[in-house]
Structure 1
C-alpha cells in the first residue's frame, strides 16, 4: 500500500536494473520519491524507470573516481539539483563456483563492490550536507559475518559494512545519515537453492521485495535517529540456529 513516506525526496539507486536494486527502486517510486535508476542494461533500466516513474541513467561503475563522479553529476541534474537518498546496491561476484579468482577477478570485485560506492559517496555526501542532510544506504551481505568459502566477495562486503560505520562517523555530524542493509540468501538468477537457509527461522530463500521495506525505512524520516547500523534482513541466517526436534 502506498503511503508516500518518501514524498518530495529524490533518490539515486545503483544496480537498480535487477534484483534488490530493482525492488528498492520500485518501492521508492511507490512511496513518492523521484528516482534515478542506474545500471548497465538499458532495456531493463528503461523498464524499471517506467515502472517506478523515474529516469534511467546508464553507468558502468568500474571503481574509478571518474565513473562515480559522472553518475553523481548526471543524477543530480536529472533530479533537479539535489540527491536526498543514495543507495549503493551495485555489486559483482562470480556466476559460478568454478570461476578462478585470479588477480583480475580480485581487482574487479574490489573495484565494483568497494571503490565504486566509496567514490560515489565522496561525490554525493558533501552535496547532501550543503542541502541540509540526506540518507545513504549501502548493501552488505550475510556472508560478511558468517564464514563461507568465498573469501574475496566476502571481503568486499565486509569492507562495505565496516566503511558504512566509518562514513556515518564522518558525515553524520553534517546531517547525512549512513546506514547499511545485510540481506540474507535471496532468490535471484544463479541462486536457485534454499540449502543455505536450512536451520534458520525463515527456512527458505528471501525475495528482493523483502529487502525493499528496510531501504524505505532507512531513507525515511522515521529513521532520523538511526546512524551507522547494518540492518540484518536475512531470515535469521546470521543470528539464529533452529534446532530440529
Structure 2
C-alpha cells in the first residue's frame, strides 16, 4: 500500500463485518490508526487481531449506537482517548436494515431504524466535527445507499434513512467545510461478502447494470480511502456512487 493515510487517526462505526470491516482494514493498511467499533466484542477483537497481524494499528471500542446522544458522545470520547486525543477521520457506517414494507412497519421498528441510522451518526458528528476543526481539519465519510435515489417497492423505511444521510452530507459540508472538515458520502450498490450457501436475496437487483454483478466490501473501502485522504482535498459534499452503474445506466439484453 502507499500509506495514503499515514499517521491519521480514524473511527469506523459498525466495523466488525462487511463494508465497515473492509474500510477499517483498508485504512489500517494505508497507515491509519483505526478504532473498530460495534456491539460484538468477539468479532471486534477478531478484526483488530487481523489488522495487527498484518502490521497495522487498531483498537476495539464496544458500543451500542442506539440513537441516544449519550451513546454517541461516549463513543466519541472513548475513541478520541484511545487514539491519543485526536481524531482525523470519521466513517458513519453503522446501520440496520430490517426487511419491511410501509404497511408492515410498526412504530417501534420505525423509531429504532431512524435512531441507529440517522440519530446516532448525527450526534456522533456533532460531537467530533468541532474537535476536528479545532485540531486543524479532518474528513467525515457517510454511507448512503443506491435505493435512496432509485425507488423500489420494499424497504421504504431504510431507504428514507439513507436519503437523510445523503442530505446531511451536503448540509454538513456547508456547515463544517469552511472550518477544514470535509464531509462526503458513498452510495454503495448491492454489496456483501462472498456467500457459501447460494445467492443473496438482493443479487437480482444488480442484473441489468454495467457491472452485471454485486460489489465487494473492498470496493467500497477503496472509495472510502480516497474520500478520507488528502487526494480528495478539493472534494466537498458529494455522494460518490459505487454501485456498478445501478443508478446511472441500464444495460438492455439483446
TM-score grouping bracket, smaller chain normalisation: over 0.9
Structure 1: runs of 5 or more not aligned? none
Alignment partner, residue 47 of structure 1: 46
Q: 2-side partners of 1:231 and 1:143: how far apart?
A: 14
Give aligned pairs, total: 244
Q: 2-side partners of 1:44 and 1:84: how far apart?
A: 24
Alignment partner, residue 54 of structure 2: none
1:19-72 CA-partner distances (Å, limit 9, x unpaired): 000000000010000000000011110011122230000000000000000000
- Picking from 229, 242, 250, the partner of 1:233 is 242
User: 1:101 offset after TM fit, Å?
Assistant: 1.3
Q: 2-side partners of 1:95 and 1:214: how far apart?
A: 27
CA RMSD across the alignment: 1.6
Q: 1-side partners of 2:142 and 2:39: how far apart?
A: 19
User: 1:140 offset after TM fit, Å?
Assistant: 0.3
- Picking from 111, 114, 120, the partner of 2:118 is 114
> What aligned pairs does 1:206-245 form with structure 2 within 5 A after superposition?
206-245=215-254
Q: 2-side partners of 1:192 and 1:44: how far apart?
A: 24
Structure 2: runs of 5 or more not aligned? 52-56
1:96-116 CA-partner distances (Å, limit 9, x unpaired): 77x931000000000000000
Alignment partner, residue 194 of structure 1: 203
> What aligned pairs does 1:74-223 form with structure 2 within 5 A after superposition?
74-95=78-99, 100-149=104-153, 150-188=155-193, 191-223=200-232
Q: 2-side partners of 1:192 and 1:107: how far apart?
A: 25
Contact kept, 8 Å, 2:15 with 2:37, in 1: the verdict is yes
Contact kept, 8 Å, 2:7 with 2:31, in 1: the verdict is yes
1:211-238 CA-partner distances (Å, limit 9, x unpaired): 0000000011000000000100000000
1:73-114 CA-partner distances (Å, limit 9, x unpaired): 0000000001100000000011577x9310000000000000
**Structure 1-normalised TM-score?**
0.96
87-96 or 232-241: which moved more?
Answer: 87-96
Contact kept, 8 Å, 2:190 with 2:202, in 1: the verdict is no
Alignment partner, residue 36 of structure 2: 37
